[in-house]
Amino acid sequence: TYVVTDNCIKCKYTDCVEVCPVDCFYEGENMLVINPDECIDCGVCEPECPADAIRPDTEPGLEKWIELNTEYSEKWPNITIKKDPLPEAAEFDGQAGKLGKYFS
Ligand code: SF4
Ligand code: F3S
């Protein structure tokens, strides 16, 4: 499965939702997550993210993100249609440590 990671936070470009064949993205206030039970591992979303925030869960060090994608995809609503990025997207793109401050 693929997971959404730190750099989506406060950017939320949403290009990813347009290409997912199984519509498995879920939307929080500041970021999206992927439902790992629904993701078919096709990989097409990964290059679509302008913030480079989508990763295969086989990459090392993603344990926390696997947990968060699993937990919050059960709580947040499904999103399938692209919308405008968050207004501060360009400013937050690439900032370190967004998880501790802005995860929602
Ligand atoms: Fe959707 Fe494919 Fe990305 Fe999984 S890897 S979230 S199925 S586009
Ligand atoms: Fe986030 Fe990238 Fe999608 S910033 S909303 S994972 S396109």
- CATH of residue 28: 3.30.70.20
Range(s) of the domain holding residue 53 = 2-82
Number of separate domains in the chain = 1
Question: Is the entire prediction scored with pTM above 0.95?
Answer: yes
Domain assignment present for 66: yes
Q: What is the DSSP letter of 78?
A: B
- 31-74 confidence digits (pLDDT tens): 999 999 999 999 999 999 999 999 999 999 999 999 999 999 99
Domain assignment present for 98: no
Q: Is the CB of 68 under 6 A from ligand 1?
A: no
Q: Is the CB of 39 under 6 A from ligand 1?
A: yes
Domain assignment present for 92: no
Q: Is the CB of 47 under 6 A from ligand 1?
A: no
Domain assignment present for 68: yes
Domain assignment present for 14: yes
Instruction: Give the pairing of strands 32-34 and 25-27.
Output: antiparallel
Residue in 7, 10, 12, 82 to alter for ligand 2 test, most ligand atoms within 8 A of Cβ: 12
